[in-house]
Structures are given as C-alpha cells and as structure tokens.
C-alpha cells in the first residue's frame, strides 16, 4: 500500500503540473492546492483512486468555453466583453454553478469557482455536477436597457452549451433577478422552449423557488450555528461581523438576527459600517437593493448608533463570529490576527474562498471553528437544486417546506464534514472533512462510469 507521504509527493507533483499547464491563474492554483493538500489520507487508504488517473481528470475541466460578447450602450457605442463557461465535472449530474458579471472575471477566476463548485455540490447530496461562468462586464451604473442588451448577447452564445439535463447556470456576483430574467427570456426566444429548469434564481411567478434569494446567507448561518453547537454554544447573544452588503450578506444578517445574534457590520468597496445597535435590515435593503447605493448612506441615515469607516478592515471590529460574505481572499493574515486577538470563536465563509490559506492556518491553529465555503455556503446551490426539482414537477413548494429542506441539508453537510474529519484523524478540521467527503462522492461516481 502506498504511504501518505508517497501519496502527498505524487499530489505535489500534480500541483506543479497544474501551475505549469494553467499559467497566470493564481485563484485556480490556490483552490487546487487547498483541496489536493488534504487528499493524501483518503488516496493512501483507497488506492483505487490513484489508479485510473482520477485526480488528474478531476482537476482538468471537461469543457471550457470562451466567447465574444458584443453589445451596444444607450449612446449607440459598441462594447466587446468576454464570456466564459467552465463545465468542470458532471459525474454526479448536470453542471451547476452561477454566472458572475464583474470586471475581475477571467478564466482563472471562473476555473477556481468551478472547481470549488464540484465539491460544494457533491456535499449537498442532490445529484448536481460542478461548473461556473460569467463575464468581465460590469453592470454597475448601467441602465436596465444596457444590461438587457448585454444579457441577450451573452445568452445568444451561451444557449448552445446549456440545458436542464446538461448545464444549469444561476446567479452570482453581478447577476441577480433582473439579469436572470433577461437571460431566460433570450434563451426562450432562441430555443422556442419553456425550459424552466435551464436557469435557477428565476422570479417566483415564473418558475423560481421561494427562499432562493435568502438561501446562501441563511445556510451559512445555519452551518455556523452547527459548529457552535458542536462546542456547546448557540447563536443567542453572540456578536457577529459580516462583510459585504449584497444578497449573501443581507440574508446572513437577517438569519443571524432571527436566531438572536447581533450583526453589527456590513461593507462594500468604499468601506464598512459599524452599527452598535445591530444592522437595520430594512434600511440596508432600501439602500442596496432599491437605490443601489453605497453603505456610507446607511450611516448617514441610521443615526448616532452607526458610523462609516472609509477603507480599513471590517475584521478589526471585535466579535464572537465572523462571516466573510463579499469576495475571494478578503480575509488575510492580518485580519485573522485581529479576529483572534479580539476573541473570535468561529469563522464561516459565505463567499467563495474569501479567506487566504495563511489566514485559515492561523485561525485553525488558534482553535477557531472554521467553516469553508464549499460547505458553509452550499445553501444557495442546494435551493437551486430544489428549484430544479420543482420545475421538473411543474409545482411550487411553500417557503416553510423549502426552509425545512435547506435546514436539513445544512445539518447533513455539517455532520458529514465533521464525521469525515474524525474518520481521517483530523477532528474539528472542517476543511479536511469537506474536501475529502466531497471528493469521495465524486470519485466513486467517476470510477463507476469509466475513464471518460
């Protein structure tokens, strides 16, 4: 039998090859490294995983699509953006993962997100593969008509690569209900099919699921609560810092408040707000979802309890819990040091890979419960899969039923990660537990289906 050290050496060689074959893609390198450095125990224990080049196939996308997206602004000027769809792994079901519209989008970012999605989707147990897509288009400041024209151009190419049994995109940063509506309309126009299951995150009146907008934030809080319960605590009375002010952050704050915690921060690219009384959710939703404004407006209108800090780090605010809910690599070593110094008990990732590897290491060394995004923020894709199930049956579930299903899935994910970590001699290490548990589910399906 191959030893763990020999297996790790083989994985290290593979990581070197990944970096060589995928130059200038640091986010993808980081995601691959984070997973592969935890797999040596399971591959050493189950040598069948090493035989058919399984890991080598797992880290190579099944399909990568890059395309031109020309569109016209309101002044008649033509712009050209780049569109992406990386269909990473379909061993467990159709590719499933969001579309991100943001200037930072490039192939490396999409590949990192798609790779993470493989394991996240596997952990839900809902039979969905991993993929991701998007564009370097920035919807911020664009009119509805401009966003519509961009979405129609984007879908004119994307439609040929997706379908309810092939690849099912959803929303992500920069892609909300407005964008999903325009994308679905163009798909329907081109294909002449009412294929409700081709996109998730749809409007509730035309195939969308209740609780889908809330699902990622709600699920993250439920995972954090499960980690605390494992330590004999609950959310009641805990102070929480939350980064971001988009969909994930808003519904993270909402669920924290409902379960008795006090969420005192939110942020955007301009800085962050601290509200000693707890974030006023109605005011935050008005500013961010209706007015599409900045968080400094929240502080101006909230009154004496709130202050706006331009720039700086939201992680300097003392709290029991930290829930990074903005973007990748937002919580670094300095931030982790500040959180630990201020007595943080748990960090749960609402965004995708928001914590740098160095920060994760520091938090784990300090005994902080750390919930990685592929487990903690799986609630969004879980309810997307439930939306697909409702579409297939031409029915709509009640909010209570969807939330019950979500709670059961998040509890199951926590249990799976916790038990898998213990099984591989890493008690309390949710990173190792999530990576190995997700890998085992995908690897078993890949073995059963042959070398494809």
The partner residues of 149 in beta bridges, in order of sequence, read none
The rounded distance, in Å, linking the Cα atoms of 85 and 67 is 9
The rounded distance, in Å, linking the Cα atoms of 242 and 232 is 23
Q: Please enumerate, by residue number, every residue annotated as part of a binding site for NAD(+).
A: 216, 247
Contact in structure between 118 and 438 (CB atoms under 8 Å): yes
Is 255 tagged catalytic? no
Contact in structure between 41 and 81 (CB atoms under 8 Å): no
The rounded distance, in Å, linking the Cα atoms of 288 and 310 is 17
Q: Which residue in the block uniquely carries the two structure tokens 């601290």?
A: 274
Q: Please enumerate, by residue number, every residue annotated as part of a binding site for substrate.
A: 96, 117, 120, 171, 384
Which residue is catalytic, options 111, 132, 202, 288? 132
The rounded distance, in Å, linking the Cα atoms of 289 and 370 is 30
Q: Please enumerate, by residue number, every residue annotated as part of a binding site.
A: 96, 117, 120, 171, 216, 247, 384
Catalytic residue numbers read: 132
């Amino acid at each position: 039998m191959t030893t763990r050290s020999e297996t790790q050496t083989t994985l290290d060689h593979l990581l070197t090859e990944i970096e060589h074959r995928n130059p200038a893609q640091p986010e993808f390198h980081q995601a691959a490294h984070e997973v592969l450095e935890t797999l040596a125990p399971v591959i050493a224990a189950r040598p069948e995983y090493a035989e058919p080049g399984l890991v080598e196939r797992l880290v190579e996308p099944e399909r990568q699509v890059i395309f031109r997206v020309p569109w016209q602004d309101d002044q008649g000027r033509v712009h050209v953006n780049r569109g992406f769809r990386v269909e990473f792994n379909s061993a467990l079901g159709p590719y499933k993962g969001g579309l991100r519209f943001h200037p930072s989008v490039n192939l490396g970012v999409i590949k990192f997100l798609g790779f993470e999605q493989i394991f996240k989707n596997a952990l839900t147990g809902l039979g969905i593969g991993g993929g991701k897509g998007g564009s370097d288009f920035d919807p911020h400041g664009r009119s509805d008509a401009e966003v519509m024209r961009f979405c129609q151009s984007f879908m004119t190419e994307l439609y040929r690569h997706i379908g309810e049994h092939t690849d099912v995109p959803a929303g992500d940063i920069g892609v909300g209900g407005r964008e999903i509506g325009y994308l679905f309309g163009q798909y329907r126009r081109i294909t002449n099919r009412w294929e409700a299951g081709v996109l998730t995150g749809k409007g509730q009146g035309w195939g969308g699921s209740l609780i889908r907008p809330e699902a990622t934030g709600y699920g993250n809080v439920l995972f954090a609560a499960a980690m605390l319960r494992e330590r004999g605590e609950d959310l009641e009375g805990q102070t929480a810092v939350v980064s971001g002010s988009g969909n994930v952050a808003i519904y993270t704050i909402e669920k924290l408040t409902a379960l008795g915690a006090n969420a005192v921060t939110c942020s955007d690219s301009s800085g962050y707000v601290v509200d000693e009384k707890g974030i006023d959710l109605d005011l935050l939703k008005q500013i961010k979802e209706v007015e599409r404004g900045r968080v400094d407006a929240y502080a101006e209108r909230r009154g004496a309890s709130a202050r706006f800090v331009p720039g700086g780090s939201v992680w300097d605010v003392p709290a029991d819990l930290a829930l990074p809910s903005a973007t990748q690599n937002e919580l670094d070593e300095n931030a982790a040091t500040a959180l630990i110094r201020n007595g943080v008990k748990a960090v749960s990732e609402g965004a995708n890979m928001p914590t740098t590897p160095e920060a994760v290491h520091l938090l784990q060394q300090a005994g902080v419960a750390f919930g990685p995004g592929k487990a903690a923020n799986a609630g969004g894709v879980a309810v997307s899969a439930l939306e697909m199930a409702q579409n297939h049956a031409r029915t709509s579930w009640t909010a209570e039923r969807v939330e019950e299903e979500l709670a059961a899935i998040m509890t199951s994910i926590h249990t799976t990660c916790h038990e898998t970590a213990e099984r591989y001699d890493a008690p309390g290490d949710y990173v190792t537990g999530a990576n190995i548990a997700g890998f085992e589910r995908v690897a078993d399906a890949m073995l059963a289906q042959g070398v494809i």
